[in-house]
Amino acid sequence: MALTQQQARSLVDLIAATRDEEIDCGTCLSELAVFAEQHIEGKPVDQAREAVRAHLAICGECDEEFEHLLAAIEAISDQPAS
Ligand SMILES: [Zn+2]
């Protein structure tokens, strides 16, 4: 089975996005809240969280989870503090 050019390219992108500090989905999700807060507050994401960013780039499921989390945090921060 031959890969189409597009398939080959996305495979190359996938490999290029893979790093030494690759984490799995469970680790990513447990770090995601901290990552999202830093992201929203505009703080520089620290080195430990770079692995989360890298994982989001290659994992659609976690990326979707991240989008939901961002929306939830933004919804909360729109509300007046009680
Ligand atoms: Zn994942």
This prediction has a pTM of 0.65
Q: How far is the CA of 18 from the centre of ligand 1 (A)?
A: 12
Q: How far is the CA of 8 from the centre of ligand 1 (A)?
A: 21
Q: How far is the CA of 23 from the centre of ligand 1 (A)?
A: 8
Q: Which domain holds residue 70?
A: 12-78
- What HEC string does 31-80 produce? HHHHHHHHHHCCCCCCHHHHHHHHHHHHCHHHHHHHHHHHHHHHHHHHCC
> What total of structural domains would you count in the chain?
1
Summarised one tens digit per residue, pLDDT across range 42-75 is 998 888 799 999 999 999 999 999 999 999 988 8
Q: How far is the CA of 62 from the centre of ligand 1 (A)?
A: 4
Residue 41 inside a domain? The answer is: yes
Summarised one tens digit per residue, pLDDT across range 22-49 is 899 999 999 999 999 888 889 988 887 9
Residue 68 inside a domain? The answer is: yes
Residue 18: pLDDT band (50, 70, 90) is low
Residue 67 inside a domain? The answer is: yes
Residue 7 inside a domain? The answer is: no
Residue 5 inside a domain? The answer is: no
